[in-house]
Amino acid sequence: MKDYPGGDRIASLADLEVEGKRVFVRVDFNVPLSDEKGADKGGAARVKDATRIEGALATIQNLRERGAKVICASHLGRPKGAPNDKYSLEPVAEKLGELLGVDVIFAHDCIGDGIIRQSKDLKPGQVFVLENLRFHPDEEKNAHDFAFRLSQLCDVYVNDAFGTSHRAHASVDELPKLMKHKAAGFLLEKEVEALAGLIYNPPRPLVSILGGSKVSDKAKVIDALMVKSQKILIGGAMAYTFLRALQCETGDSRVEADMVTMAKRILERAKESKCKILLPVDHVTGASFDNPGEPQVTTNAHIPAGRLGLDIGPKTRELFTRELQGAAAVFWNGPMGVFEKKPFDEGTNAVAKAIFDLSAKTKICGGGDSVAAIHAAGLEAGFTHISTGGGASLEMLEGAPMPGIDALKSEVGA
């Protein structure tokens, strides 16, 4: 990455001398695992979705081909600072070996004298996967001592974990500050460059689509997007809080009561910014979340008592599809409903298909459940960029600090 938005410069992989050196690659292998290991009882079959592993392959292969000793480190899940077999990276290491077509060495910890010896015994081109970083509470505490112990494993540092770069954790923040030789991996470069285009020079008209459950999670990014977007389409449960702000009946739908006033202010600011915010005009409802029963479609934006909204309705799907026409760029984050439960996936699928069909120059999906929906529908080819980090992409768009990226341009620490 030659130039970082804002004028800073960050080294790329090509800038590093890696032959014969131990290269610590912070990857994002926080992938979903199944409960069963599969008929062969091997760990690799436990990985349900290898998208994030596949995203790191280009960086790992480049380093291997240049004679580096590759040490991959990641977190997985939320083990709360203690070892937990449920969150072991061993099945992920097996899957990585399968994808690379090589034997991958797995360490049963990520720090310690034994791990240091293993790192020094590596041969050029070998791949070494450390156990879950979050088995140690000091990872999330961004502890200097923990970062120093990680630094003893390597000569060079590479961050290819965009999905965790908004976290000030030891392996993405404190560790690179200790390293003289450090760079961005291919995936991190790709993520930053794609999102920087929306932040600094968005093609116009830009249409943003936001879904998911909470206004509180996305209020800041809505503020940031409304000054860049000509339209913002809002679906998912967060739409019900906005509708309540407009005095619509929302039945038993999920509403953040303490965010209704904020939602009203956002709608007012959007008018001042000349950004058109569109909300659902009808809904697909159920009797309850766990037992929705027969879906019913409302005739308008109001949801009757005893029902809760679980998806955008057919009129809203048509409205959103129509409002997308003519967009030069699209940014999408968050499903339009409870897409993991049929038939309440139809609104999310309709939006994905509408974006797929657009001839827009830039079509970015900002991670999370939206990505799962795109993959499930087989529509990946219709997007110019699909982010591996939902939370990270939103925080970058809203202008929040990105410690994992900033650390790549920091001076060497003590």
Active site residues: 52, 214, 368, 391
Strands 385-386, 296-297: pairing is unpaired
Q: Which of 118, 110, 115 is nearest to 87 (CA)?
A: 110
- Measured in degrees and rounded to the nearest 5, phi and psi for residue 118 equal -60, -40
Name residue 340's amino acid.
E
Contact 398, 365 (CB under 8 A): no
321 CA to centre of own chain:
25
**211 vs 110: CA distance, rounded Å:** 37
- Inter-CA distances, 333 with 82, 105, 184, 373, 392, Å: 32, 36, 24, 11, 12
**173 vs 176: CA distance, rounded Å:** 6
DSSP annotation of 234 reads E
Contact 198, 397 (CB under 8 A): yes
To the nearest 10°, the Cα dihedral for 167, 169, 172, 174?
130
- Inter-CA distances, 69 with 18, 128, 146, 186, Å: 8, 8, 21, 17
Contact 11, 183 (CB under 8 A): yes
